[in-house]
Structure 1
Amino acid sequence: MTPLSSATGPDLQADLDRAGFYPKMVADIIDEALDGRETGAHLVHLETHFDQHEVHRHITVLVLAEDVLLVAHVDDQQLDEKGKEVMAQVSTELVQLSKVTTVATSYVYHQPQNYSTGDMVKELTLGIAWAGAQRIDLAPAGCADPACDADHGYTGTSQQEDLVLRVSAEADGVNAVTAARGFAKSMRRASAPRGADASRPGAAAPAAEVRGRVGSRFGRNTHQG
């Protein structure tokens, strides 16, 4: 798998060209979806998967544009063994920033006992939720007593899955992680403004509620019984 991420350049087209995944087509799709809105921060994430003799690629582009977040995703697929016939499948979603409920970031640091301010993140996972779609995984709960046969109910995790992107310094490079981190910061500022703007109708959930959702997204256990 060979991912590529970017959010540092002011020119979205330049980053699409650098990714090299049908840049003109992707740019036209984004232009149509935004319908004249001015673009701001963006993140381009390209992944290539090798499955035996086949190569599968897909690109995800996130763009902040005025009052919306654009999520564009493109997959391609070879229709013949020689790869001469290729099909691209495109999807876009325009999300009102006022509907974004969670901007979650999960960080992985190497050798945290030696941490100093400014140390690079080894891996970053960015999760954005807006539609409330959740996956709940449950399993029977137990206890520390191996002889216990009591019913302890269930334990599990609840995760929101509108969008999750993982960027690794080892696989993607340090610049890719920095770019993803920068976009996450822009996304938080746009979806949960501070001060007077935070009280606007439809603003993102307050910090305490968001923290609770972040915990469930990344594996907080729930116990019943």
Structure 2
Amino acid sequence: MQGTLEQAVATAGYYPALVSHVLRTAIGDESVRAHFVHAETTFDADEVRRHMTVLVITDRRLLRLHVDDGAGHVDQSMHEASATVESATLVSIQNMALTHVVHHPEDFRDGDLPSELVLAVGWRIHSRIELEPASCGDESCEADHGYSGAIVGDDSLVRVSVIADGEDTVRALVDFAAVLQTAVGARP
């Protein structure tokens, strides 16, 4: 159990003062119905980067706060962080998917946690156009066939696993998703 939103942010330990400030500003005077806090560290070839995603359900909205480490200014050796809040009304959520990945499904028993859990929410905040050169299928054809593509919605995604994040985090996302499903009237 993640406790209160403030406790979960403090426990995550990733710029708690910044995260709490941004969340208070975004939430305003609304009540928090449910929350999920996920801090994550990634390793690139040259550096370690931290990220945090906070999902919050209020009576009217779903908020997603994402915080990233920044590279800082090249001419100054200062560190930066970037915090972005996305907000959508619950009625604007088009769909949601909750993917349960189970290692060794033959051993799975009712009540067991999935090995991994992925939450995707289609909430019409962002979309992108993916284009690629069109072709006619003839490898020797040099004609310009224009472009083909699609408009793709950028769903909010959160992925957790028992191995990387622990059982409590997976359980917390299961609980959060159940509240979200009820709030938007969806049962994937």
Match for 2:92: what amino acid?
K
Contact 1:16 1:27 (C-alpha < 8 Å) held by counterparts: yes
Q: Among 175, 178, 186, which residue is 1:185 paired with?
A: 178
- Structure 2: give runs of 5+ residues left out of the alignment: 136-149
Q: Verify: 1:55 aligned to 2:48, yes or no.
A: yes
Aligned to 1:66: 59
Identity %: 32
Q: Does the Cα contact within 8 Å between 1:77 and 1:88 map onto a contact in 2? A: yes
User: Would you say 1:88 and 2:57 are equivalent positions?
Assistant: no
1:122 aligns with 2:139: no
Give the root-mean-square deviation of aligned CA atoms.
2.8
CA distance in structure 2 between the partners assigned to 1:52 and 1:84 by the alignment: 20
C-alpha distance in 1 between matches for 2:85 and 2:107: 43
Distance 1:9 1:185 in 2: 15
Tell whether the 8 Å contact from 2:2 to 2:36 is kept in structure 1 after alignment: no
Which residue number corresponds to residue 40 of structure 1? 33
Which residue matches 1:174? 167
What TM-score do the two structures reach when normalised by structure 1?
0.67
Separation in 2 of the partners of 1:127 and 1:18?
Answer: 25
Change (3 A) 1:174 1:10: closer
Report deviation, 1:92: 0.8
Of residues 22, 32, 35, the one that matches 2:15 is 22
| 2:178 partner letter | K
Give how far 1:186 is off.
Answer: 0.8
- TM-score w.r.t. the length of structure 2 is 0.80
Q: What SS does structure 1 have at the residue aligned with 2:32? A: coil
| 2:5 counterpart residue number | 12
Tell me if the contact between 2:51 and 2:66 (Cα under 8 Å) persists in the aligned partners.
Answer: yes
Could you say which structure has the greater relative contact order, defined with CA pairs below 8 angstroms and 6 or more residues apart? 1
Aligned residue pairs: how many?
171
